[in-house]
Amino acid sequence: MSAYVINLVYLMLSVALLLGFIRLAKGPSLPDRVVALELVASIVAGMVGVHAIYTGVSSFLDVAIVLALTAFLAAIGFARFLERGGPRDD
Amino acid sequence: MTEILVSALLLIGAALMLLAAIGIIRLPDLPTRMHATTKSGALGTALIMIAVAFYFAEVAVVTRALAVIAFIIVTAPVAAHVIGRASYFVGVPLWEGTIKDDLKTSYDPETHYLRSGFEEDVPKKPAASKKTTAAKAKPKR
Amino acid sequence: MIGFFWNILLALAWVALTGNFGGLNFTFGFALGYAVLAIAQTQLPAIRGYAQRIPRVLRFMGFFILELVKANLKVAFDILTPPWHMQPGVIAYPLSAKTEFEITMVANFISLTPGTLSLDVSNDNRVLFIHAMFLQDEKKLLAELNEVERRLLEVLR
């Protein structure tokens, strides 16, 4: 695999991760942070895939599966929590 | 040949994720941010997983990559819907450029009843029974 | 669904009988099983209509991927260029899907298309509330959503 492509993809994903973290820290409301967290989880899942190609170890894919599932569960849990809480203004 | 294909898939996937990240920073309110993140993020992960499947080209890896894609494609819209609904009902403000809001007029925050605007079409349904359905609908949420 | 299960079973039987556990051989077995089921479906009520369903599913997938790419480009263009072209808003979309399963699938596919996001269903299951990013032409948007829903219901029913 061409090292240029891998490095470029790593760079793009890192910038994306950084931007996601900025929104996670800044996010005016809690749902904004939840959305940012979900984006971060899917970027990390993508990074795991790239790392599997880079190292040639396919077992890393299991991490991506678990990550995708837990991110979904976290989003559902947060939404339940928000709806139970009722109207709010933070 | 496969190397070019894998490189192209990786680059497109990473570009989509970068796009989602730029979107989440730039867009002005929560629903529009979710437009950017859920679709582009899910599609980007799916493309990278397809690249992984092509790169290894083994049955075990392809199955796992397809499993990741299936999870993401199934769960992304559900998560988006759940968060979008919760944030709307919690009262996260919409962008001032929003030109229309049909949901606001038909949603009753007291009873959590959501009217469709078609109730008049259903024959033989007096106003009193509508109230009882509204009361029944409350514990469901 | 039962037809698809039988098709997989026939493909597995083909793979086991030929003793070649490869992806290509499995695909060939699947094609053979499909041909067998297409001939047998006139006699078996349980799998009737199965042979017509697979091409429809493939056609829907092609149509949907095309829509996905088009809408993604539109959203991408608006994110990357400084002035906002978008006019977001929440619209009510009258559903023609009836059962809970159909409504779930329609809502999910609408959510997957960039530019539209399903927020909630009214309590009597007749209207889907959608957050749309480009509301310049509401009639056209509703017609497009109707097209997606019609093709999806064709596959599901």
Query: Does B24 map to a domain?
Result: yes
Measured over the CA atoms of residue C61, residue C65, residue C71 and residue C76, the dihedral's sign is positive
Please give the average per-residue pLDDT across B52-64, as a whole number: 86
Query: Does B95 map to a domain?
Result: no
ipTM for the whole complex: 0.85
Q: Does A35 contact B3 at a Cβ distance shorter than 8 Å?
A: no
Range of the domain at B62: 2-90
Residue from the list A12, A18, A31 with its beta carbon closest to the beta carbon of B14:
A12
Give pLDDT, residue B124.
44
**B8/B34 same-domain check:** yes
Domain count across chain B: 2
* Higher local confidence (pLDDT), A7 or B109: A7
Query: Does B97 map to a domain?
Result: no
Segment B83-120, tens digit of pLDDT: 888 887 777 777 777 777 776 777 666 666 667 666 65
Q: Does A67 touch chain B (CB under 8 A)?
A: no
Segment B20-45, tens digit of pLDDT: 899 888 888 888 888 888 888 888 88
Q: Does B31 contact C91 at a Cβ distance shorter than 8 Å?
A: no
Segment C44-62, tens digit of pLDDT: 777 777 777 778 888 888 8
Spatial distance between the Cα atoms of B45 and B75, rounded to a whole number of angstroms: 13
**B10/B61 same-domain check:** yes
Q: Beta-strand (E) ranges in B1-141?
A: 100-101, 107-108, 113-114
Spatial distance between the Cα atoms of B74 and B46, rounded to a whole number of angstroms: 12
Query: Does B96 map to a domain?
Result: no
Residues from chain C that touch B16, judged by Cβ atoms under 8 A, are 72
Residues from chain C that touch B97, judged by Cβ atoms under 8 A, are 84, 86-88
**B77/B128 same-domain check:** no
Percentage of the residues of chain C whose pLDDT score is greater than 90:
0
Please give the average per-residue pLDDT across A10-31, as a whole number: 89
Chain B 100-129, residues with CB within 8 Å of chain C CB atoms: 100-104, 106, 113-119, 122
In CATH, A3-85 is 1.10.287? yes
Looking at chain A, list the stretches that DSSP marks H as alpha helix, in order from N- to C-terminal side: 3-26, 30-55, 60-85
pTM of the model: 0.79
Nearest-CA residue of chain B relative to A5? B7
Query: Does B33 map to a domain?
Result: yes
Spatial distance between the Cα atoms of B42 and C111, rounded to a whole number of angstroms: 12
Contact at 8 Å (CB) between C82 and C88? Answer: no
**B13/B78 same-domain check:** yes
**B11/B68 same-domain check:** yes
SS3 C85: coil
**B24/B83 same-domain check:** yes
Residue from the list A31, A46, A78 with its beta carbon closest to the beta carbon of B30:
A31
